[in-house]
């Protein structure tokens, strides 16, 4: 139990690294929390800082989840579950200690965590996200439906651990998109124009 606590705390700290804030301030001298949606995630980075910065932030946020989920392997503790530890990186991304507990919406770091555990599921969900995005032009809707599809896929794969974790991640993602859901219903949610 003590080892789990230590690893989970490390994962939380990794997840708490505010990629969007760091890149915005260091490279562009812009605090993205003061622009766009005010969110620290990749979508707002795309909106405020541009495509290159948005891509870098998104990849960095994905890798946070992958790194956290891989900690048991990297630190030679194979008896620990990367599923359990990785989820604390997602919590850190949503509520980062390094950014006054106001972070992203859990999408990229959740995806990265899944990549570290099940690359097959990651690529299936990744493809689903872009198909939905191409059709709808809503990043938020694509994120939520992809999270739901991840649960369905985990059920199809009959992997109990993945079913539990993807269900938790799905709840995180949908909850963090409450405001987006309202805007989608009211037809005021911004659409992307690059796809």
Tell the residue number behind the tokens 């998109």, with chain if given.
177
Residue of 76, 78, 60, 52 whose CA lies nearest to 21: 60
Average pLDDT, the chain: 94
d(CA 62, CA 104): 12
**Domain extents in the chain:** 2-185
User: What are the residues whose beta carbons fall under 8 Å from the beta carbon of 13, sequence distance 6 or more?
Assistant: 92, 97
Q: Check residue 195 and give its pLDDT.
A: 74
Structure tokens at 161: 């651990």
Tens-digit pLDDT profile for residues 78-119 = 889 999 999 999 999 999 999 999 999 999 999 999 999 999
Query: Can you list the residues of the chain whose pLDDT is less than 70?
Result: none
Q: Structure pTM?
A: 0.93
């Amino acid at each position: 139990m003590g080892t789990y606590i230590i690893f989970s705390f490390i994962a939380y700290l990794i997840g708490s690294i505010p990629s969007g804030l760091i890149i915005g301030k260091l490279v562009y001298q812009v605090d993205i929390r003061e622009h766009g949606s005010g969110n620290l995630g990749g979508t707002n980075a795309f909106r405020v800082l541009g495509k290159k910065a948005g891509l870098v932030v998104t990849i960095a946020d994905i890798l946070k989840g992958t790194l956290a989920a891989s900690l048991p392997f990297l630190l030679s503790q194979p008896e620990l579950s990367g599923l359990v530890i990785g989820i604390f990186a997602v919590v850190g991304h949503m509520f980062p200690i390094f950014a006054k507990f106001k972070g992203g919406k859990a999408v990229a770091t959740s995806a990265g965590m899944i990549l570290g555990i099940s690359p097959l599921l990651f690529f299936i969900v990744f493809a689903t996200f872009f198909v939905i995005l191409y059709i709808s032009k809503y990043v938020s809707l694509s994120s939520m439906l992809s999270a739901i599809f991840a649960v369905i896929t985990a059920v199809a794969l009959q992997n109990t651990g993945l079913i539990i974790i993807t269900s938790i991640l799905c709840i995180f993602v949908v909850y963090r998109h409450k405001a987006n859901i309202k805007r989608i219903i009211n037809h005021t949610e911004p659409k992307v124009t690059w796809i």
